[in-house]
Amino acid sequence: MSHSHDKEDSCCSSKVHAEPKHTHDHNHVHAEADDHGHDHGGNPSAFKTYLPALVTLIMLLIGITFDNLFTIPAFQIIRPYWYIVAYLPVGIPVLQEVWETFKVKDFFTEFSLMSIATIGAFAIGEYPEGVTVMLFYTIGELFQMAAVNRAKRNIKALLDVRAEVAHVFRNGKYEDINPEKVEIGETIQVKAGEKIPLDGELISDKSSFNTAALTGESKPRNINKGESILAGMLNLDKVVEVKVTKAFADSALSRILEMVQNATTRKAKTELFIRKFAKIYTPIVFFLALALVTVPILILGSEYHFQTWLYRSLVFLVISCPCALVISIPLGYFGGIGAASANGILFKGANFLDLITKLNTVVMDKTGTLTKGVFKVQKVESIIDEAQFLNVLTALEAKSTHPIAKAIVEYVGQKEIHPAENIEEIAGMGLKGIVKGKAVLAGNVKLLQQFNIDFDSEIASIEETIVVVAINQKYVGYVLIADEIKEDASRAIQQLHENGIKQVVMLSGDKTSIVKKVAQSLGIDTYFGDLLPEGKVARLEEIKSERSRVVAFVGDGINDTPVLAISDIGIAMGAMGSDAAIETADVVIQTDQPSKIATAIKIGKATKNVVIQNIVLAFAVKAIVLILGAGGLATMWEAVFADVGVAFLAILNAVRIQKMKFL
């Protein structure tokens, strides 16, 4: 059938070990276990990662037990050496980090603060405290690593939604292999309902494809033998063969994987501030600790007791270590990225988690964003019995493989279809044939005009795609076929308004009459139709001209790429979205559900709240214990809580984001 239709339009970086060790990101102290429980050294289990902390913990508990419960002279002799051995499994990695940072003349890091404090504790005989500080610091690192891995698994699960199998012709048969292993020039087979895994050239005669991902239009496209076919197109018709012309490395999937790996390299402003703050703060507290051990001698004179003031100084160092901030703030953002991934949303940077909380205007494309981009029968108008009308129409359409024909057959269902004879396709107009001895025409308005058949002139003014039918040279009715609105589209607009979005605007290349109908049915505030890509850009620039607006654009096609690029936040539909749209966007909705936009806003707000909570918690507790420590009222144990304890609480608070429900 050849119907002619009206055209419709950080922190801890997510890539752990991505930075050199001397940058003193907290994720470098220990080898990180990957998503399968293996560490990067290829060991069969992550157990080796946790073994040093476990050994230290056991030895520390044994030492404390002998110190407090048993009086064994032999243990008192070996006591210093026992605690030194207990210290080494967790202390050596940190000391190595100190050496690495010293080599690049970076002397004031949390690693150096921890090393000085714990070695100083050993120097004055406070062995259990020295071991405990380093052990708790290490456990904090392991907590952070586990949280990061959880978020990475969520992101990986998000990407697994995309098809990663290609049917390649090798050794005289088709084999299912990973698209990465397909070579240029090889032949792949794509079955009906499958996505094209790689760019190529169609070898089969022809087929129909859903190209909404590339064009932003719901109208399927017929592609003939020898024409180019792109990854992301959906095969609607029959089994086809494609000659591969581009490697997998150039596909959308590989680019998305790269985006995920670099997701948290784009830092939020709060995170960047904390990192800069830590670089200034750390040397300041180091010299304050040094002053705490030296200045009192000038004031107290002969009453000065070096060991007392050294202990206070070491307590001060442990308390003031910025671990809680340096770990928990970036981890909060990474937790937000992981929570978003678990909900089918990919943020390409922590900065967009911050920015999305400030949104007040959302501009949306129509086709493929608010609508499904597929044909459905919306209305049947007939001047004869409707069942008879549909039977006659379906008799012709059942012989066609065109998506419009399939939509009609699907609408009619499993009813008995009359046999049709002498079916003939009239290019660009429709079909004609004989059904139960009657001459039947089914196609567009031009088909009826071609055969000089009278019909109501109002039919010609219908904006949507219609299939008109004539029996024995008399018009008998039509079927209206249109793009179907997504199930959650109305809820999406409602939720946006509930989440502080003052205005929702729809921009579309479709006819204004259709755009108006969709906008009114969904409760969209403002709409514009009949827009070319440059028209969308002009409208968006006009909206952005008001400085008070923070604007997000939501789209899915190549034609949306310019507006995605100039918006404050570009949001792309990822399941059927074009490669260009996905690459240009700042946020990708992998499930293609517009309601996920409100979910993304909620996750951004929850992340911001957790980050603020962690900052207030860390500063408040540290300030109190710092004052107590300087006055000799806090011991190393209180210092451990003020540093590692607060870090634990902050990490647990950050991890909480990934367990929240965002409905």
Domain spans of the chain, in order of start: 21-158+262-343+603-659, 345-363+487-602, 373-485
In angstroms, the Cα distances linking 634 to 169, 319, 320, 625 are 73, 10, 13, 7
HEC sequence for 523-540? CCCEEECCCCHHHHHHHH
Least confident of 372-376, 400-404, 453-457: 400-404
Amino acid 353: pLDDT = 87
Take residue 353 and report the two structure tokens written for it: 């988690």
Name which of 455, 439, 448 is nearest 396 in CA terms: 439
Contact 94, 115 (CB under 8 A): yes
Contact 570, 564 (CB under 8 A): yes
Strands across the sheet with 240-244, in order? Answer: 173-177, 166-170, 187-190, 240-244, 200-202, 228-229
**Pairwise pLDDT comparison (190 vs 150), residue with the higher score:** 190
Contact 553, 571 (CB under 8 A): yes
pLDDT at 150 over 80: no
Amino acid 564: pLDDT = 85
> What rounded mean pLDDT belongs to the chain?
78
For the ranges 121-125, 344-348, 524-528, 627-631, the maximum mean pLDDT occurs at 524-528
**Pairwise pLDDT comparison (219 vs 520), residue with the higher score:** 520
Q: What is the CATH number of domain 345-363+487-602?
A: 3.40.50.1000
The DSSP code for 459 is: G
Q: Does the predicted model carry a pTM greater than 0.75?
A: no
pLDDT interval class at 225 (50, 70, 90) = confident
**Phi first, then psi: what are they for 233, rounded to 5°?**
-70, 150
Cβ of 220: how many Cβ atoms within 10 Å? 25
Query: What residue type is 633 in one-letter code?
Result: L
pLDDT interval class at 542 (50, 70, 90) = very high
pLDDT at 56 over 80: yes
Q: What integer is the mean pLDDT of 232-255? A: 77
Take residue 322 and report the two structure tokens written for it: 């910025």
**Pairwise pLDDT comparison (100 vs 116), residue with the higher score:** 100
pLDDT interval class at 27 (50, 70, 90) = very low
Strands 465-471 and 371-382: unpaired
pLDDT at 223 over 80: yes
**What are the pLDDT digits (tens) for 276-300?**
666 777 778 778 878 877 888 888 7
SS3 344: coil
Least confident of 469-483, 494-508, 558-572: 558-572
pLDDT interval class at 272 (50, 70, 90) = low
In the chain, pLDDT over 90 holds for what percent of residues?
Answer: 17
pLDDT at 458 over 90: no
Amino acid 14: pLDDT = 31
pLDDT at 378 over 90: no
Assigned CATH topology for domain 373-485: Calcium-transporting ATPase, cytoplasmic domain N (3.40.1110)
**Burial grade of 410 (CB within 10 A; 0-12, 13-18, 19 or more):** exposed
In the chain, pLDDT over 70 holds for what percent of residues?
Answer: 79
Cβ of 39: how many Cβ atoms within 10 Å? 17
Take residue 103 and report the two structure tokens written for it: 């080599």
**Pairwise pLDDT comparison (68 vs 52), residue with the higher score:** 52
Q: What integer is the mean pLDDT of 329-349? A: 79
Cβ of 419: how many Cβ atoms within 10 Å? 10
CA distance 163 to 195: 7
pLDDT interval class at 528 (50, 70, 90) = very high
**Pairwise pLDDT comparison (581 vs 260), residue with the higher score:** 581
Q: What integer is the mean pLDDT of 551-562? A: 81
Take residue 7 and report the two structure tokens written for it: 């055209």
pLDDT interval class at 144 (50, 70, 90) = low
pLDDT interval class at 275 (50, 70, 90) = low
pLDDT at 254 over 60: no
Catalytic-residue membership of 568: no
Strands across the sheet with 234-235, in order? Answer: 221-224, 206-210, 234-235
Cβ of 545: how many Cβ atoms within 10 Å? 8
For the ranges 143-157, 336-350, 351-365, the maximum mean pLDDT occurs at 351-365
CA distance 327 to 144: 7
CA distance 323 to 328: 8
CA distance 197 to 232: 7
CA distance 177 to 183: 11
Query: What residue type is 634 in one-letter code?
Result: A
**Pairwise pLDDT comparison (225 vs 271), residue with the higher score:** 225
**Burial grade of 69 (CB within 10 A; 0-12, 13-18, 19 or more):** exposed
pLDDT interval class at 273 (50, 70, 90) = low
pLDDT interval class at 31 (50, 70, 90) = very low
pLDDT interval class at 475 (50, 70, 90) = very high
Contact 135, 60 (CB under 8 A): yes
Token look-up 């806003």 returns: 601
pLDDT at 245 over 90: no
User: How big is the chain by its Cα radius of gyration, in Å?
Assistant: 33
Active-site annotation holder among 365, 510, 586, 643: 365
SS3 346: strand
CA distance 265 to 262: 5
